[in-house]
Amino acid sequence: MIVISALAKQFAAPRVGWRLRRTQEPVRAVSEVSFDAPNGQITGLLGPNGAGKTTTLRMLAGLITPDAGQMVVDGIDVVRHPREAQARMGVLSDSRGLYPRLTARENIVYYGALQGMATEAAAERAEGLARMLDMTALLDRRTEGFSQGERMKTALARALVHDPANIVLDEPTNGLDVLATRALRDTLRFLRTPEGGAKCIVFSTHIMQEVERLCDNVVVVSHGRTVANGSVSQLLQQTGQSDFEQAFVQLAFPGEVAA
């Protein structure tokens, strides 16, 4: 279970020559993001480009430190106990970040070892995940030259190798074809069930259909803030819309776009 409250992060503006230094404002990537992601549910972080989704998930993954706010994973504070918190999370970041000289299998097993797994257990798990993600044929190829979808599958298997209770995915369907998207959807649905471990799953996207099809909870993020939170039907009810895209536009861009 993941609980995020009043998270904030700003980035110093890059220097574009000394004369502009004083006029450049810092970028407020995240101003106040708060949400709860319970176990056995899929929580979708939905927001337009630049809303702060990736920044939020990078803070959760311990890749950058927040300026303010709190992130708690299974009762563990991410900032104060990063290692313990990371051990309970599987993270698919936006960059995917594979080692190009290693094979897919080596990437997955190596990450398992980093998480404290015995090599044999990690190797066995890599086989199982490869079957689940339909990527067995890829296992012994170096990831250098992998297509976007192949990289995503490898990175996803790597994120899941230590069987984390919490799964955090930044735009996981980016670059996936229709079959791979379906396979991912089925995988996430399975991981949500008691047999699949009743995982706490958080993923970011800007694809409405994905949210409608998968998410138990939707967290709408806009301009670095949580602006709405609820199930798809609750958000429809709240906005008085029958179409989820309309509801989203109304919530994410109040006053900016005609409904």
Ligand X SMILES: Nc1ncnc2c1ncn2[C@@H]1O[C@H](COP(=O)(O)OP(=O)(O)OP(=O)(O)O)[C@@H](O)[C@H]1O
Positions that interact with ligand X (CB under 6 A) = 11, 27, 29, 47, 49-55, 206
Distance of CA 92 to the CA centre of its chain: 6
The residue among 55 and 229 lying less far from Mg ion, judged by its C-beta, is 55
The residue among 33 and 130 lying less far from ligand X, judged by its C-beta, is 33
Asked whether position 55 contacts Mg ion by CB under 5 A, the answer is: no
The residue among 7 and 235 lying less far from ligand X, judged by its C-beta, is 7
d(CA 105, CA 46): 32
Q: Is 30 exposed, middle or buried (0-12, 13-18, 19+ CB in 10 A)?
A: buried
**Shortest Å, Cβ 15 to ligand X:** 12
**Shortest Å, Cβ 17 to ligand X:** 17
> Using CB under 5 A, which of 54, 56, 107, 143 touches Mg ion?
54
Helices (H), ranges, the chain: 53-60, 82-87, 104-114, 119-132, 148-160, 178-192, 208-214, 232-239, 244-252
**Shortest Å, Cβ 92 to Mg ion:** 12
DSSP letter, residue 128? H
Question: Which residues lie closer than 8 Å to 50 by C-beta, 6 or more apart?
Answer: none
Under a CB-based contact definition with an 8 Å cutoff, are residues 188 and 216 in contact?
A: no
**Shortest Å, Cβ 64 to ligand X:** 8
In 3D, which of 44, 64, 171 has the Cα closest to residue 56? 64
The residue among 49 and 242 lying less far from Mg ion, judged by its C-beta, is 49
Q: Residue 189 binds which one of Mg ion, ligand X, none, with CB within 5 to 8 A depending on kind?
A: none
Asked whether position 173 contacts Mg ion by CB under 5 A, the answer is: no
The residue among 53 and 125 lying less far from Mg ion, judged by its C-beta, is 53
Q: Residue 52 binds which one of Mg ion, ligand X, none, with CB within 5 to 8 A depending on kind?
A: ligand X
Q: What is the greatest pairwise CA distance in the chain? A: 60
Task: Give residues in contact with Mg ion (CB under 5 A).
Answer: 53-54
